[in-house]
Chains A and B, each alone.
Chain A
Amino acid sequence: MDWHQLWEIVSAPDNVPIVALIPLLMFYIFLAWKQAKGNDELIAELETQPAMAKTHHRTTWPFRPGWQKEVHVWPFLLRIEFLAAIIVTIILMVWSITLYAPLEEPSNPNLTMNPAKAPWYFLGLQEMLVYFDPWIAGVVMPTLIIIGLMVIPYIDTNPLGSGYYTWKQRKFAIGTFLFGFIILWVSMIIIGTFIRGPGWQWFWPGQTWDHNRLIYEVNRDLPDIFGITSNLGKGIFGAIVVGGYFLIGGFIVHGLFRRYKAKDYQRMSFLQYNIMMVFLLTMIALPCKILLRLLWHIKYVWITPWFNV
C-alpha cells in the first residue's frame, strides 16, 4: 500500500472538486430520495382513498385551509438568496486561502506529461478513448450526449411527476438518467482521475505509479475470432454485427417496453419511440463494448478502410 501515492492523487488541488463531488452527489441523491419516498407514500395513500384525494392539498408539507398559498419574495426568498450568496462566498474564500491553484512548469511541447489528463470534467470522455477510437469518444459521443439531453423533454411523454420528486411514477426515466449520469459519466470521471496512471494504465488506489510498467495485452478484433480475413468480409461482417445489435436489441427492448411501459408506449408517436430507441440502445452499447474489451480483449467490432468501431 503506497499511502504517499494515494495522498498525492487525492490531495492534488485539481482533484479536490471530484473528491467533493462524491459526497455532494450522495447528499443530494439522499435528499431527493427522501422527498420522492414521501411523495410516493402520499400518492399511494390518495390513490386508495378517492374522497381524501379530492380535498387533500397534495404535498407532504403541512397546509391548512386559510393559510396563504403564496409568500412574498421579499423577504422570504430574497433573504435565502442573500444567505446562500454569503455562504458560497465564505466557502470559496476558505477554499482559496487554504488550497492553492496548481501551476506547473512553463508549457513545453517537448516534454510530454505522463499521464496527460484532460480537465477533470472531460475525463469520462478520455476514459472512453480506451474503448473507442477518438472520433467516437471525442466527437460522436459528446454530440450524442448534447442531442440526447436536448430531446429528453420531447420523448418523455409521461405527464406524471412534473414539479415534485417521485420514483414510482417515473422509474424508467429516472433509472435511465441515473445510469447515464452516475454510471457512464461520473464513475468514468472517478476512474479517470483516481485510477488511471502513467500510460493511462489501471492502478488501484494505493498502488505505486510505475512509469516503466508495460502491459502486454493482445487485443483481437471480432472478425479475427470468426476467421474473417478479407477487408470486404470484415466490413460486411461488422455492419451485420452492429446492425444486428440495433435490430435484435431494439426488438428485445420493444418487447419489454410495450409490456412494462404500456402507457408510455401508447402515448409515444412513431418518431418519439424511435428516437428513444436509438439513444437508449446507443447508451447500452457502451457498457457492452467495454465488457467485450475487458472480458475478451476485443478491440474492434467493425473494421472498414475509413473507420473502425
Chain B
Amino acid sequence: MPEAKENGKNDNRVGLLERVKAGVKEDVRSLKTEMPAKIKEQVQGLKDPTKTQVYTSIFRHKHDDTPRNRALGVLSNVFLHLHPAKINRDAVRYSYTWGMGGITFYLFVVLTFTGVLLMFYYHPSKVQAFRDVLYLEHDVPFGKLLRNMHRWAAHLMVIAVWLHMFRVFLTGSYKKPREFNWNIGVLLLVFTLLLSFTGYLLPDDQLGFWAVTVGTNMARATPLLGHEGPFGKQLGMTPYNDVRFGLLGGSIVDANALLRSYIWHCIGIPIVASVLMIVHFWRVRKDGGISGPAPVMLSEEADKPRRRVE
C-alpha cells in the first residue's frame, strides 16, 4: 500500500500485525486440517508401495500375475534379460542340461566375490605371500572359510566345465548353428584351467611351487620356442630367452613368477574369461536358445531340410 506509507500513519503497521496474525492463524488451521488429510493420503499410498514414485521408477511395470508382466519381468531386467521371455517347456527339465553351464557361471561369480575379499589380505611378494595366507588362516575373521571356499569353488568349477562340455557333446548341441559357440566354449575351458593353474602358485607353499615348476618345465620343451625343445637350440633359445622365461619372468620360479601369476590370475584371465562368457551367453540366445530337448529326427530325414515343428 504505497499511499498508506506516505501518510505516515500507524494503521499501516496495525494492518501488518493483523495480516501476520491472520496469516499465522491460517497456517495453523492448514496444519490442523490439510496435514491430516495429507497424512491420510500418504498412509493410504504406503499401503500400496507399488504406486510410489520411487517404486515405479525402479520397476517399470506392474507385478500382477499376468503373462505380459511375467515376460516383462524378465525382459526389462538387465540381468535377467539374458533369458528369453519364454522357453521350450522341456528345456527346464534338469535332465537335459544338468544345469551345468549355469552352475559353472555361478561358481565363477562366487570365485570373483571370494577372490576380491582374498585380495584385501594378500601381497604378491616372496616376503609376504606365505605369511598372508597364514594370517588369513589364523587371524582374519572367517579367513579360513574364505580361503577354503575359494579353493573348493575353483575345483568344482573345473569339474562343472567338464561336465557341461560333456553334456553339450552328448546332446549334439555343437551342431549347426552352434559351431562357433562350441569354440568359444573350448576357449572358456582353457581359460578356466589356466585360472585355476595360475592360482595354484599364489600361496607360495611347496605344493604350488612344485606343481608350477613341473607345469612350466614342460614349456622348456616347446618346439622351436623352448631351449630344450626340438629345434630350439638351432633357433638360439637359451634358458634366458625362451617361452618359459617369458612365462615366469625369469629362469626359475621366483618373485617375478609369483607376480606374473598373480596378475594373470586376478586381472588378465578373469577379464578375458568374462568377455568370452558375455559372447558365449549372447550366442546362446542368438543361435536360437539352447538346443533342445528337440524333437528326435529319423534317419530318413537326415539329408532332407530339417522338419519344422510348429
Contact = CB atoms under 8 A, between A and B. Distances in A.
Interface of A: 14, 16-17, 20-21, 24-25, 28, 31-32, 35-36, 39, 42-43, 46-47, 53, 57-59, 61, 67-78, 80-81, 84-85, 88-89, 92-93, 95-97, 99-109, 111-113, 116-122, 125-126, 133-135, 137-140, 146, 149-150, 152-154, 156, 158-166, 169-170, 173-174, 177, 181, 263, 267, 306-307
Contacts of B175: 153, 156, 159, 161-162
Interface of B: 67, 70-71, 73-74, 80, 83-96, 98-99, 102-103, 106-107, 110, 130, 133-134, 137, 144-145, 147-153, 155-156, 158-159, 162-163, 166-167, 169-176, 178-179, 182-183, 186, 189-190, 193, 196-197, 200, 203-211, 213-215, 217-223, 226, 228-231, 234, 252-253, 291-300, 302-303, 306, 309
Contacts of B226: 135, 139
A58 B293 CA distance: 10
Nearest to B234: A306
B294 A99 contact: no
Nearest to B298: A47
A150 to B, nearest CB: 5
B159 A106 contact: no
B102 A96 contact: no
Contact of B206 (A14, A67, A105, A307): A105
B205 A139 contact: no
Contact of B86 (A71, A107, A163, A177): A71
A165 B211 contact: no
Contact of B203 (A25, A103, A139, A158): A103
Contacts of A121: 158, 193, 196
B209 A107 contact: yes
B106 A88 contact: yes
A207 B151 CA distance: 29
Nearest to A44: B298
Given A169-B299, A174-B170, A181-B166, A117 B211 contact: yes
Contact of B211 (A71, A118, A139, A146): A118
Interface centre among A16, A31, A93, A96 (most CB of B within 10 A): A96
Contacts of A177: 169
Interface centre among B197, B214, B217 (most CB of A within 10 A): B214
Contacts of A153: 174-176, 178-179, 182-183
Contacts of B209: 107-109
20 contacts: A35-B96, A36-B170, A70-B87, A73-B83, A73-B84, A74-B80, A89-B110, A96-B145, A103-B134, A106-B130, A108-B209, A109-B209, A135-B228, A135-B229, A137-B218, A139-B219, A160-B302, A162-B171, A162-B294, A166-B296
| Top-10 shortest CB links A-B | A138-B218, A163-B294, A163-B292, A58-B295, A107-B209, A153-B179, A307-B230, A96-B148, A134-B221, A135-B221
Given A69-B88, A80-B99, A92 B152 contact: yes
B198 to A, nearest CB: 10
A96 B217 CA distance: 32
Given A73-B87, A95-B152, A140-B223, A159 B302 contact: yes
B113 to A, nearest CB: 11
B74 A112 contact: no
B163 A28 contact: yes
B184 to A, nearest CB: 10
A97 B299 CA distance: 52
Nearest to B163: A28
Contact of B230 (A28, A89, A107, A135): A135
Contacts of A59: 90, 293, 295-296
B310 to A, nearest CB: 9
Given A117-B214, A135-B229, A149-B186, A71 B87 contact: yes
Given A39-B296, A59-B295, A117-B214, A97 B145 contact: yes
Contacts of B87: 70-71, 73, 76-77
B149 A96 contact: yes
A126 B213 CA distance: 12
Contacts of A126: 214
A235 to B, nearest CB: 13
A28 B166 contact: yes
Contact of A164 (B73, B196, B293, B299): B293
